[in-house]
Amino acid sequence: MPAVTRIANQHLTVDVSPLGAEMQALTTADGRSFLWNGDAAFWIGRSPVLFPMVGKAPENRITVEGKSYEMAQHGFARRTEFSLVVSTGTLCRHELAASDATRAVYPFEFLLAVEHALEGRRLTVSAEVENHDTRPMPFGLGFHPAFVWPLPGAAGRPHTVTLDNGAEPALVRLESGLVKREKLQSPFKSGRLTLDRAMFEADAMIFPEGAGEGLTYAADGGPALKFSFENLPNLALWQKPGAPFICIEPWHGTAAELGGSDDLANRPYGVTLPPGETARFAFTVEVDG
């Protein structure tokens, strides 16, 4: 496998693997690591890109234009090797084009480009999806980055997630990996959530609507990560029970609904891209402190 690509500036260093175009490390100049290290004792992921669907499908199968295909959770991009097409000191771009392997499970011509770019203390991770087919192309796209919890130097301190918009978005939960339709009371109070590991005993907390376009993950009196989201209306927070990380996941699309359709075009909050068009999705994270 080709080597990991490193980009860096005076503030941050980022490593990106060609497998899944997945970020492997986010480190400050003073050596603090903010990204989860992929310890297999808990979860080997670090920052997977989810495509062409987010979450699970019923019985791990999707329907496209009346035909059934097997599709593992979060799609195939995270398990597929991308090609490195641009690499500068502070930016790298990886691309994945349709192949015989992808057509066997997702019958469309597409190009997925994932870019990591540094500017000051900010990292922007973007994905562009191009429809090279002659038909409308349904898909979901999500980011699944895991950050250390506790944050560096902040062991024992309360950690919070605070929404920029101050909202209290409704919570939905999963059952067998599928989204339950029941909307639960928000755990946010005036946009603020103090993290508690017990919150994740029932799997991810998903906020399909209303979480807004930015948030801050911070330790009281300690470092903070400030996020902004582009074209990513859904938010999930997830921790493998007992693991020292928290996933802050902005999505466009969710898992299929419990008892709902397996048709990819009917998944909640999914995208259907016309032929010849491109859709862009991105998140930016700024390391503060």
pLDDT tens digits along 95-144: 999 999 999 999 999 999 999 999 999 999 999 999 999 999 999 999 99
**pLDDT value at position 227?**
98
**pLDDT value at position 3?**
87
Question: Which stretches of the chain are DSSP H helices?
Answer: 100-103
**pLDDT value at position 131?**
98
Integer distance in angstroms from the first to the last C-alpha of the chain?
Answer: 35
Q: Which amino acid is present at 161?
A: V
Model confidence at 2, pLDDT cuts 50, 70, 90, reads: low
* Residue 191: both structure tokens together: 């946009």
**pLDDT value at position 21?**
98
What angle is formed at CA 10 by the lines to CA 26 and CA 154, rounded to 5 degrees? 45
| Rounded (10°) CA dihedral 134, 139, 145, 146 | -150
139's enclosing H/E stretch is: strand 137-139
**pLDDT value at position 289?**
80
Q: How far apart are CA 129 and CA 106, in angstroms?
A: 14
What angle is formed at CA 255 by the lines to CA 253 and CA 260, rounded to 5 degrees? 110
Contact 156, 150 (CB under 8 A): yes
274's enclosing H/E stretch is: none
Give mean pLDDT, residues 209-224: 97
The values of phi and psi at residue 201, to 5°, are: -65, -25
pLDDT of 1 over the 70 cut: no
283's enclosing H/E stretch is: strand 278-288
